[in-house]
Amino acid sequence: MTARPCGKCGVSVAAGARFCAACGTTVGAAGTSASQQPPAGGRPVLPFAIAGVAVLVFVLVLALRGKPAGAPPQAIQSAPSSGSLPDLSQMSPREAFNRLFTRVMTASEQGDTAQANRFMPMALMAYRNLPEVDIDARYDVALIHLHAGDIAAARALADTIQAERSKHLFGFVLRAAIARFDGKPDAAKAAYRQYLAVADEELRANRPEYDAHRSMLDSFRQTAITGSR
């Protein structure tokens, strides 16, 4: 498997990727599908493949998350495809949030907008119930807000990430996705350049969230190199 150009925007797509990290187009698609078109009269609830850079993030987060440490059997078994509510009764608040986040992202990846929209409010409630939040949790919930088209909420979370750690890479990933959604290529290019300026320094810090999302960050670096030109 080798990298190949996106059929829509021409940006190089990494081998094995299902979506273009620059424009969100499904690999092999020549353009935007009907499910990506906004409904008449308003801004859409984001389908899985419209948030540009965030699309790649969604897929890789699912692949990298794995089984939550210490989770009971109910928390780590595969999510049912019927759309039934996961059994959250034996989970910690963080495990419940992780499980619901994964349900939203899995449904989105499968193009099941109805199920994604069903579990989204539950995931947001689980986030609000967390006794404490870290940057990783803020990043995850920002992806949910991006999926929902709530760009203001995603931007606010990016702000909190960078207020806590001004050079944190997740902040730049979110800002690039937000800028692409808003149709602001100059802002996206600025986010790419800022990411590249601090990436090596930040990765040497060996933050746990970077280790957990290393493949995503490596792929985003390639997107940033192309997008910053």
Q: Is residue 191 part of a domain?
A: yes
145-177 confidence digits (pLDDT tens): 988 889 999 999 999 999 999 999 999 999 999
Find residue 178's DSSP bridge partners: none
Confidence category of residue 41, pLDDT binned at 50, 70, 90 = very low
Distance between CA atoms of 229 and 152, rounded to whole angstroms? 27
Q: In terms of residue numbers, what domain contains 158?
A: 67-227
What proportion of the chain, given as a percentage, has pLDDT over 70? 63
Q: Is residue 141 part of a domain?
A: yes
Instruction: Write the CA distances from 16 to 28, 57, 59, integer angstroms.
Output: 12, 14, 11
Q: Is residue 55 part of a domain?
A: no
115-135 confidence digits (pLDDT tens): 988 999 999 999 999 999 999
- Tell me, what CATH number does 185's domain have? 1.25.40.10
Instruction: Write the CA distances from 23 to 50, 56, 168, 188, 204, integer angstroms.
Output: 7, 10, 23, 12, 29
